[in-house]
Chain A
């Protein structure tokens, strides 16, 4: 099963992936990365910080523009991809394996995921 079959996406181009230990990995979709172009800067939060669904938790810049990244669901940050901050261009090459942003412990209700889209529906929505 490919990763895009397991993720749920927001209309603002973030995704969540449920891990075996019930934590979630949060990242950007390949479509978002392609639209941004050359990624040159990434700012991620620190471990232990909590965000609500819809909060801006990170900033990303491509050569073209600066963008905010929003929480798909509420959660507390338990892991940060610091290697990606050091080499943000990795996102352009490897968006899903090494291009994840943060891992979180969900703190909100399961209903927060109701408005998230399966990848195929998301693609239809954005293209």
Chain B
């Protein structure tokens, strides 16, 4: 049974092309992907991401429990702050990637990927034995609206947003007369907010945001542009760029966790070993040197031999070239500036290894 968000009727009324994604009937585009993409880069866009999961963790052992689940040091997470985390299995492979928020004393909110909510909750339950902790999956009660782009902050101010908050923080706030949770996070590489609201509020809030956003040139944005936006920002997509056979070290996420965390956590021995000696593979960013597009699953070659596989690829509307993320064998010979080849329709096409991210929100200059 395919699920529908509380904004489903809005998407249909706006003429969105709908697709099944992670068990949800979701809008892939309203106008065109490129137009929507540029709207978010240049002004502001509104996304329905209510398919994402919301899991609350509370109880006397909530902190110790989370310390066991993720490589990040949750003891350093302050009230109303957010941290990007991974959920490794015992071998260091990733069950999901998450944002964890500290909502109060021994009280945390976890935002997980729609396709992984059930696996995550199951994994948490399995790991919870011996801990005084409550795992409360509230995904069905919450809608999530993302407002992303350089005009996002100004738009929410005109709607009466009554908090000043930094990136990666969450606050109870009021917009118009609605009491909601406002998180300054996103998945586009732009400044922006995610509004966590009770389902009943979502449809009216959606309409009001589009109304107030009109002077800013706001558009509703589908999953198609969400994908090209996150890829330009070199943000991982679970299922493409992350999976149970990929560790955070291999995924290029070593920056995101504490190297000196004392507590043991699932997969720690593998992750620490790879941190010292390197992973089996590494994630690289590549830019195609011709007009061909490297897609998920295409083989990557180096020095005439198969060296890896593309996990995400698309055109970059901002750069005007084609970009991709790929895993290659972990060798120093493949580094920034190296030319590799991607097998596309039985022919090899050159691509250059470049630095991540492809597009930087502060300058949006060509890579």
Contacts and interface: CB of A to CB of B under 8 A. Distances in A.
A38 B28 contact: no
A85 B13 CA distance: 35
Given A63-B228, A63-B314, A37 B293 contact: no
B224 A63 contact: yes
A38 B32 contact: yes
A66 B295 contact: yes
A59 B32 contact: no
A6 interface: no
A41 interface: yes
A43 B256 CA distance: 41
A38 B291 CA distance: 15
A43 B345 contact: yes
A37 B295 contact: no
User: Number of contact residues on B: which range applies?
Assistant: 10 to 19
Interface string A84-112: 00000000100000000000000000000
A64 B293 CA distance: 11
B33 A59 contact: no
A66 B292 CA distance: 10
Contacts, number: 30
Interface of A: 37-38, 40-41, 43, 59, 61, 63-66, 92
B287 to A, nearest CB: 15
Contacts of B291: 41
A31 to B, nearest CB: 13
B295 A38 contact: no
Contacts of A92: 32
Given A38-B32, A43-B345, 13 more contacts: A37-B17, A37-B29, A38-B33, A38-B34, A40-B293, A40-B315, A59-B345, A61-B293, A63-B33, A63-B34, A63-B224, A64-B224, A65-B295
Contacts of B293: 40-41, 61, 66
Contacts of B17: 37
A16 to B, nearest CB: 23
A108 B317 CA distance: 42
Interface string B25-68: 00011001110000000000000000000000000000000000
Contacts of B345: 43, 59
Contacts of B34: 38, 63
Contacts of B295: 65-66
Interface string B206-230: 0000000000000000001000100
A3 to B, nearest CB: 24
17 contacts: A37-B32, A37-B33, A38-B32, A38-B33, A38-B34, A41-B292, A41-B293, A61-B293, A63-B32, A63-B34, A63-B315, A64-B33, A64-B224, A65-B295, A66-B293, A66-B295, A92-B32
Interface in B266-298: 291-293, 295
